[in-house]
C-alpha cells in the first residue's frame, strides 16, 4: 500500500491515543506524539529522505525503536504495535477523542462503563441520559457532549492542506505512470490552497486506449470504490479521503479545470458573464449555440469572457472578477520571491537542530538570511531562553556569521506576551537583538476585550517588529482566540509592526481575510516557516499559498526584501 508521511504520523498518533486511553506511561505516549508531530511536519517524503542516505534516527525524537516501526510501516503499511493495541481497545474508540471535552480518561470511562465505541453510540447515550450518571460527568457535561457529537457528525471531514498534498502528489505521480495518460492536474479547494481539503478532484487527459480508469479504481490505497465509469470514478482512500477522477478530452481540459477548481461562487459569476454575452459555460467548454468558442485552456475561456486569467487562489468571488475587469488584479507573491525566513527555532529552546544546521538548511532552500527566534523564558515547556542564555546565543550567532558563506543569521527572540501585555524579557535585552517577534502562547480563554488589549499593549513596545501567528489557531485542534483583528491591524499599522503568516501546516495563521485587511491598511506581512527542524522549510510553500489567498504581492511581504532593505525597515521605530 502506498505510504506517505501522514500515514506514518497517523499511525503513531493513534498508538498514542490508544495508550492514553489505557492509562499507559506518559513518557511512552509523549514519544509517539512527538514522533507523529515530527514526521507530520516534514516537507520531504520519508522514502525520499532514505534514498538520499538520511538515517531515520537523525530525525528529532526518532530513536532505534521508532525508526524500526517507521520502516515497518513504509514496507507493509501496517504496524504490529497498533494491531496489538486494536486487540486490547476497539479502534473506533479513538474517534471519541475528537469530540471537544472528551479526554482519554473520560473516553476510557465511556468505553468501559457504557461500552461506547463510536460517536453515533455516544450521541445515542447522551440523548438517552445515560452519561450524566457516570463519575466525573453530570447533566451539563452530558449536554455539551450531545451538542459536540451532533456538530461532529453533521460536519464533513476535512484534511489539512499539507496532508492532502502528500496523498495528492503520490496519486498524481501514479496516474502519470499509466500508459496513455497525457496530463494530470489536481483541482478543487486543493488548487485554491484552502487551509483544509474535503476531497481531491483529479483531472486527466489520456489516449482512448489508456486503462487509466480501470487502474484508478485498483489503486493500492483504495478502501472503497464508490463509483466507476468510462470517464468518472470515485474512491475512498484508507485514510478516509475521497478522490474523484475525471477523464476529459484535451479540447475541454481548460474548461473542466476551471469548473472543478471552483469555487462555486466564482463559477456562478463566470456563467452569469457568459449569459450576458449569449454564451453557455460548463465543464465541457464555452459555447455559442453548438459552436465551441473556448475550452482547451483556462486562459482561452477567461479571454473569451473578456477577462485576464485569474489565479486559482483568488477564485472565491471576493472581488477578483471586478479587479480583473478593471485591470487591477494583484501580481501575487511567489515562493521564489522570499529571500529570508524570520521565525525559526534551534535546539536552544524547542528546536531539533543547532543554529548552524538550521542556517545551512535555510541556505539550501535558496534563502539569503534567516532569524533565530527561540522562545523566551516564560515558555518553560519549550526551554525558553533567559537574558543570560540569550546573550550567549547572540555571541554564537556573531561567530557563525564570520565564517558561514551565502547566509546571514539574524539574532532574535519569540518573546512571550504576558497576560497584562508586557513582554517576558526587559527592553534592555530586547534592544540588543536584530529582530523581536512577540507571541501569545497562553491564556487563550481571556475575554475579547482583555485579549485585544493584551496584544495591543505588546505592539506598542518599540522593540517588537513582528506579531507571530496572530490568532493562535491550530487547524482542527484549537480555535483562534477571540481578538478584535481590525484594531490589532490598525495598531500594527500605527506602530509599523509586521504581522506573520505562519506557514506551519498546523497553523497557516494569518487567515486570508486578515491578510487582505493588512494589505489595505499598509501593514507588512512576513511569511515564516516557524521551523523547528532542518526539514521544515518546505512548509513555506503553504504560507505563500495562504498569502496569495489574501491577495498579497511581493511588495506586501517583509521578507521579500533584500537584507540591507530589511535591516533599514527593522531599525525604523
Asked whether 353 and 533 are in contact (CB, 8 A), the reply is yes
Count of structural domains within the chain: 4
Q: In terms of residue numbers, what domain contains 234? A: 159-247
d(CA 6, CA 138): 37
Q: Cα separation of 380 and 371, whole Å?
A: 21
Going by the DSSP 8-state scheme, the letter that residue 78 receives in this structure is: -
CATH number at residue 58: 1.10.150.110
Residue 549: closest CA among 323, 318, 337: 318
The secondary structure of residue 23, as a DSSP letter, is T
Do residues 325 and 318 make contact, with C-beta atoms less than 8 angstroms apart?
no
CB 467, CB 436: distance < 8 Å: no
Q: Clarify whether residues 419 and 566 are in a common domain.
A: yes
* Predicted pLDDT at 573: 55
Give the H/E segment covering residue 281: strand 280-282
DSSP, residue by residue, 326-384: HT----B--GGG--EEEEE--TTTT-SS-HHHHHHHHHHTT-SEEEE-PBBTT-GGGT-
Are 276 and 347 members of one domain? no
Looking at the fold, whether 547 and 428 belong to one and the same domain comes out as yes
Taking Cα atoms as reference points, which of 564, 560, 521, 531 lies closest to residue 544? 560
Instruction: Tell me the three-class secondary structure of 464-506, residue by residue.
Output: CCEECCCCCCECCCECCCCCCHHHHHHHHHHHCCEEEEECCCC
Are residues 346 and 470 located together in one domain of the fold?
Answer: yes
Instruction: Examine the fold and report which residue of 222, 247, 272 is the final residue of a domain before the chain moves on.
Output: 247
The C-alpha atoms of residue 293 and residue 271 are separated, in whole angstroms, by 14
- Host H or E run for residue 56: none
Closest CA to 342 of 526, 515, 556, 495: 526
117 and 189 belong to one structural domain = no
For the chain, state the CA radius of gyration: 25
Q: What is the CATH number of the domain that holds 205?
A: 3.30.460.10
Q: For residues 453 and 364, state if they share a domain.
A: yes
**Final residue belonging to a domain, choices 247, 275, 292:** 247
pLDDT at 89: 86
Q: Single out the residue in 326, 355, 377 at which a domain terminates.
A: 326
> The C-alpha cell of 471 is what?
490568532
pLDDT of the chain along its 573 residues, tens only?
Answer: 678 888 899 899 989 999 998 989 999 999 999 899 889 888 788 988 888 888 898 888 899 999 999 999 999 888 999 999 988 988 778 888 888 778 888 999 999 899 888 888 999 999 999 999 998 898 989 998 998 888 778 766 789 999 999 999 999 999 999 999 999 999 999 999 999 999 999 999 999 999 999 999 999 999 999 999 999 999 999 888 999 999 999 999 999 999 999 999 999 999 999 999 999 999 999 999 999 999 999 999 999 999 999 999 999 999 999 999 999 999 999 999 999 999 999 999 999 899 999 999 999 999 999 999 999 998 877 789 999 999 999 999 999 999 999 999 999 999 999 999 999 999 999 999 999 999 999 999 999 999 999 999 999 999 999 999 999 999 888 889 999 999 999 999 999 999 999 999 999 999 999 999 999 999 999 999 999 999 899 999 999 999 999 999 999 999 999 999 999 999 875
Angle between helices 64-76 and 5-22 (to 10 degrees): 120
Query: If we measure between CA atoms, which residue out of 501, 480, 389, 490 comes closest to residue 437?
Result: 501
Cell 500500500 locates to: 1
State whether 468 and 345 are in the same domain: yes
How far is 399 from 393, CA to CA, in rounded Å? Answer: 10
Q: Which pLDDT score is estimated for 343?
A: 98
CATH of residue 373: 3.20.20.140
> Do both 218 and 284 map to the same domain?
no
146 shares a domain with 59: yes
CA dist., res. 303 & res. 572, Å (int): 44
Nearest to 39 by CA among 220, 173, 163: 163
Alpha carbon separation from 78 to 31, 81, 82, 245 (Å, rounded): 19, 9, 8, 27
Cβ-count burial of 98 within 10 angstroms (0-12 exposed, 13-18 middle, 19+ buried)? middle
CA distance to 18, 19, 34, 60, 464, per residue, from 64 (Å): 22, 20, 15, 12, 42
Mark whether 22 and 124 lie in a shared domain.
yes
Cell numbers for 283: 465543464
Give the integer Cα–Cα distance in Å for 243 and 174.
14
Residue 451, number of CB atoms within 10 A of its CB: 23
Q: How many angstroms separate the first and last alpha carbons of the chain?
A: 56
d(CA 454, CA 446): 9
- 443 in the Ramachandran plot: left (φ > 0), alpha (ψ -120 to 50) or beta? left
Residues 115 and 37 in one domain: yes
- CATH label of the domain that carries residue 256: 3.30.210.10
Residue 568 and residue 407: Cα distance in Å, rounded? 18
Q: Kindly state whether residues 475 and 553 are assigned to the same domain.
A: yes
Amino acid at each position: 500500500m502506498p505510504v506517505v508521511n501522514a500515514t506514518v504520523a497517523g499511525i503513531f498518533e493513534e498508538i498514542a491515543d490508544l495508550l492514553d486511553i489505557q492509562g499507559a506511561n506518559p513518557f511512552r505516549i509523549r514519544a509517539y506524539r512527538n514522533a507523529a508531530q515530527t514526521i507530520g511536519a516534514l516537507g520531504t517524503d520519508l522514502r525520499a529522505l532514505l534514498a538520499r542516505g538520511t538515517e531515520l534516527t537523525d530525525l528529532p525524537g526518532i530513536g532505534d525503536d521508532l525508526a524500526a516501526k517507521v520502516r515497518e510501516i513504509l514496507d507493509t503499511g501496517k504496524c504490529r504495535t497498533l494491531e496489538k493495541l486494536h486487540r486490547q481497545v476497539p479502534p473506533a474508540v479513538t474517534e471519541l477523542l475528537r469530540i471537544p471535552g472528551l479526554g482519554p480518561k473520560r473516553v476510557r470511562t465511556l468505553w468501559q462503563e457504557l461500552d461506547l465505541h463510536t460517536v453515533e453510540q455516544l450521541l445515542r447515550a447522551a440523548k438517552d441520559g445515560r452519561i450524566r450518571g457516570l463519575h466525573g460527568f453530570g447533566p451539563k457535561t452530558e449536554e455539551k457532549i450531545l451538542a459536540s457529537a451532533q456538530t461532529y457528525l453533521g460536519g464533513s471531514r476535512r484534511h489539512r492542506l499539507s496532508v492532502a498534498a502528500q496523498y495528492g502528489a503520490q496519486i498524481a505521480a501514479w496516474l502519470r505512470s499509466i500508459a496513455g495518460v497525457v496530463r494530470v492536474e489536481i483541482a478543487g479547494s486543493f488548487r485554491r490552497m484552502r487551509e483544509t481539503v474535503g476531497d481531491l478532484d483529479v483531472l486527466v487527459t489520456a489516449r482512448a486506449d489508456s486503462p487509466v480508469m480501470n487502474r484508478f479504481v485498483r489503486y493500492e490505497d483504495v478502501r472503497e470504490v464508490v463509483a466507476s465509469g468510462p470517464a468518472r470514478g470515485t474512491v475512498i482512500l484508507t485514510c478516509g479521503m475521497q478522490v474523484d477522477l475525471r477523464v476529459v478530452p484535451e479540447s475541454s481540459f481548460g474548461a473542466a479545470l476551471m469548473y472543478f477548481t471552483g469555487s462555486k461562487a466564482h463559477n456562478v459569476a463566470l456563467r452569469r458573464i457568459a449569459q450576458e454575452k449569449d454564451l453557455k459555460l460548463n465543464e465541457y467548454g464555452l459555447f455559442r449555440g453548438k459552436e465551441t468558442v473556448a475550452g482547451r485552456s483556462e486562459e482561452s475561456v477567461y479571454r473569451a469572457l473578456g477577462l485576464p486569467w485569474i489565479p486559482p487562489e483568488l477564485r472565491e468571488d471576493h472581488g477578483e472578477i471586478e479587479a480583473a475587469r478593471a485591470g487591477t488584479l494583484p501580481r501575487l507573491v511567489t515562493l521564489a520571491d522570499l529571500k529570508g525566513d524570520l521565525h525559526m527555532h534551534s535546539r536552544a529552546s524547542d528546536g531539533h537542530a543547532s543554529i548552524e544546521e538550521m542556517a545551512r538548511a535555510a541556505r539550501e532552500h535558496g534563502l539569503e538570511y534567516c532569524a533565530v527566534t527561540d522562545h523566551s523564558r516564560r515558555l518553560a515547556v519549550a526551554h525558553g531562553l533567559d537574558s543570560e542564555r540569550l546573550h550567549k546565543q547572540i555571541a554564537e550567532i556573531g561567530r557563525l556569521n564570520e565564517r558561514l558563506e551565502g547566509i546571514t543569521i539574524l539574532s532574535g527572540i519569540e518573546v512571550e506576551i504576558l497576560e497584562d501585555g508586557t513582554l517576558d524579557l526587559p527592553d534592555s535585552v530586547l534592544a540588543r537583538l536584530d529582530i523581536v517577534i512577540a507571541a501569545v502562547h497562553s491564556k487563550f480563554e481571556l475575554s475579547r476585550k482583555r485579549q485585544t488589549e493584551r496584544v495591543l499593549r505588546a505592539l506598542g513596545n518599540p522593540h517588537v517588529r513582528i506579531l507571530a501567528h496572530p490568532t493562535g489557531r491550530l487547524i482542527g485542534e484549537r480555535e483562534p482566540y477571540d481578538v478584535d483583528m481590525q484594531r490589532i491591524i490598525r495598531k500594527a499599522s500605527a506602530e509599523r509592526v509586521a504581522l506573520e503568516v505562519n506557514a506551519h501546516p498546523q497553523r497557516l495563521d494569518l487567515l486570508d481575510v486578515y491578510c487582505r485587511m493588512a494589505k489595505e491598511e499598509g501593514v507588512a506581512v512576513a511569511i515564516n516557516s516557524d521551523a523547528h527542524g532542518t526539514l521544515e522549510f518546505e512548509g513555506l510553500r503553504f504560507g505563500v499559498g495562504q498569502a496569495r489567498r489574501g491577495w498579497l504581492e511581493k511588495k506586501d511581504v517583509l521578507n521579500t526584501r533584500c537584507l540591507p532593505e530589511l535591516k533599514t525597515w527593522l531599525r525604523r521605530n
